[in-house]
């Protein structure tokens, strides 16, 4: 039974007894408090209780809306599908790059039998193609970063569902995944980002050690 103490004290007591009340439970508690006040409600108390009532209603609406969102689809369908599509991009670009490289290797073979002038032209062309084909490595690493981000979103969505949509007991959010390798794997930086160093910056930094 709640004692007749100031409303803030009663709310603190409730918070201690019910750290994570259900919205219906909270509404019941609010009405219970109101019924014990017997007309000695001050304007400040009334405003506070009105806000608590509104909070309970908001929580109830939020829970209903999250349940109606079919948020499970995000984890069960949308994210796995997006991850599969990204994996397919990596596989297709790898296949295409291998075909391009195979053509270049044949051109190099032709260059070996060509006149010195033509051989140089062919080598210059194949060198440029080899350089350009390294895009596949960079895009692969960028896509791996995106897949990691999607997995992090998946975990966050699962946690929100646990807390608000009654899929489980809530609790603490999942810990971040363990750092792999030597802990310095940042992946490719976006061109022009402050963190990205170009080859000339790296050369200068290395030279500063000498």
Of 82, 140, 164, 167, which lies in the binding site for another protein, with binding defined by CB under 8 A?
A: 140
Closer to another protein by CB, 22 or 108: give it: 108
98 contributes a contact to another protein by CB under 8 A: yes
The binder of another protein chosen from 134, 149, 151, 173 (CB under 8 A): 134
Q: Are 2 and 32 in contact (CB under 8 A)?
A: yes
With tokens 């033509």, the residue in question is 118
Which helix (H) or strand (E) segment holds residue 54: the answer is: helix 43-68
On whether the CB atoms of residues 138 and 147 are closer than 8 A, the answer is no
Cα–Cα distances in angstroms (integers) from residue 192 to residues 133, 134, 195, in the given order: 21, 19, 8
Pattern 54-93, another protein, x by CB under 8 A:
----------------------------------------
d(CA 90, CA 145) in angstroms, rounded, equals 13
Which residue in 76, 77, 109, 127 binds another protein (CB under 8 A)?
Answer: 127
In the set 24, 110, 125, 205, which binds another protein (CB under 8 A)?
205
Distance of alpha carbon 161 from the chain centroid: 15
Residues near another protein, by CB under 8 A:
94, 97-98, 101, 104-105, 108, 123, 126-127, 130-131, 133-138, 140-141, 180-182, 184-189, 195-199, 202, 205-206, 209
């Amino acid at each position: 039974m709640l004692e007749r103490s100031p409303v803030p004290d009663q709310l603190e007591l409730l918070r201690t007894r019910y750290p994570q009340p259900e919205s219906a439970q909270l509404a019941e508690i609010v009405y219970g408090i109101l019924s014990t006040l017997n007309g000695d409600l001050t304007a400040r108390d009334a405003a506070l209780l009105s806000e608590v009532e509104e909070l309970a209603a908001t929580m109830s609406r939020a829970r209903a809306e999250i349940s109606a969102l079919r948020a499970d689809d995000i984890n069960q369908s949308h994210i796995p599908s997006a991850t599969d599509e990204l994996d397919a991009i990596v596989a297709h670009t790898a296949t295409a790059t291998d075909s391009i490289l195979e053509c270049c290797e044949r051109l190099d073979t032709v260059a070996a039998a060509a006149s010195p002038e033509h051989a140089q032209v062919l080598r210059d062309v194949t060198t440029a193609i080899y350089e350009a084909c390294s895009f596949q490595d960079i895009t692969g690493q960028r896509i791996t970063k995106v897949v990691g981000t999607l997995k992090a979103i998946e975990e966050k969505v699962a946690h929100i569902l646990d807390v608000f949509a009654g899929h489980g007991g809530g609790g603490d959010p999942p810990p971040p995944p363990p750092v792999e390798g030597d802990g310095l794997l940042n992946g490719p930086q976006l061109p022009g980002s402050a963190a990205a160093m170009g080859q000339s910056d790296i050369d200068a930094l290395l030279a500063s050690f000498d």
